[in-house]
């Protein structure tokens, strides 16, 4: 079946919410990354869905945040339907969203996730204590991907919701 990646549109909202609820459960609302996105619309030109045939099976969003005084992007949630895991859909969304972000003026993408998965897309662990989130987060899972030729050391301080 045909696999297609496109920008997320308003009509995808309900299915994306359902996928996200299935993957993360009710605890998702208490995560630090969720708090950083709360009431901030995701970037419409940097958020994608994947369809296999007619079925929406994947979603990734990027949202504008601040880290200290610098503007950056937060990646997440990244979610793939249980039925379509391990078939390259996560990889397709990560490569597409990082490539799209490279074309913007943002200097870095931050996310909270597993380094063994995300390092293949250019993410590295944030040096312990360099970036603080607005809630508890395992420091080993705070990851950053530099964009353009920005040094990730330029990003330090409190990560906050975009005003
Ligand atoms: C994590 C997730 C997005 C990966 O998407 P996917 O389409 O299944 O993954 P891909 O097909 O791109 O990649 C599969 C590879 O990644 C590996 N992988 C998947 N999740 C991993 C993890 N958490 N840590 C390390 N490796 C991981 C698989 O073992 C597989 O390895 P292989 O290529 O050596 O066989 C998906 O499993 C998912 O939606 N999980 C639930 C939600 C979640 O945890 N999201 C990420 C946190 S924001």
Q: Tell the residue number behind the tokens 């330029």, with chain if given.
A: 154
Architecture in CATH of 3-161: 3-Layer(aba) Sandwich (3.40)
Cα gap 60→73, rounded to integer Å: 12
CA of 78 to the centre of ligand 1 (A): 10
CA of 163 to the centre of ligand 1 (A): 32
Q: Does residue 69 register a pLDDT over 80?
A: yes
CA of 75 to the centre of ligand 1 (A): 15
Q: How far, in Å, are 3, 4, 65, 76, 83 from residue 51 at the CA level?
A: 6, 5, 28, 18, 13
Is any ligand 1 atom within 6 A of the Cβ of residue 49? no
Q: Does residue 145 register a pLDDT over 70?
A: yes
pLDDT of residue 25: 83
Domain ranges within the chain, ordered by starting residue: 3-161
Q: How far, in Å, are 53, 91, 130 from residue 109 at the CA level?
A: 30, 16, 15
CB-based contact 100:61 (threshold 8 Å):
no
For the segment 85-139, what is each residue's pLDDT rounded down to a tens digit? 999 999 999 999 999 999 999 999 999 999 999 999 999 999 999 999 998 899 9
pTM of the model: 0.95
pLDDT of residue 26: 78
User: Sorting pLDDT into bands at 50, 70 and 90, what band is 51?
Assistant: very high
């Amino acid at each position: 079946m045909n696999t297609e990646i496109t920008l997320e549109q308003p009509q995808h909202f309900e299915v994306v919410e359902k996928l996200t609820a299935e993957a993360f459960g009710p605890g998702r609302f208490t995560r630090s990354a969720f708090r950083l996105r709360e009431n901030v619309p995701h970037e419409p030109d940097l958020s994608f869905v994947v369809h296999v045939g007619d079925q929406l099976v994947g979603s990734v969003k990027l949202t504008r945040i601040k880290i200290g005084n610098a503007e950056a992007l937060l990646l997440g949630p990244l979610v793939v339907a249980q039925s379509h895991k391990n078939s390259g859909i996560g990889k397709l969304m990560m490569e597409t969203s990082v490539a799209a972000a490279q074309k913007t003026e943002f200097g870095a993408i931050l996310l909270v996730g597993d380094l063994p998965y995300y390092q293949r897309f250019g993410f590295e662990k944030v040096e312990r204590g360099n970036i603080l989130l607005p809630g508890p987060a395992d420091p080993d899972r705070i990851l950053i991907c530099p964009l353009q030729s920005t040094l990730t050391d330029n990003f330090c301080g409190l990560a906050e919701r975009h005003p």
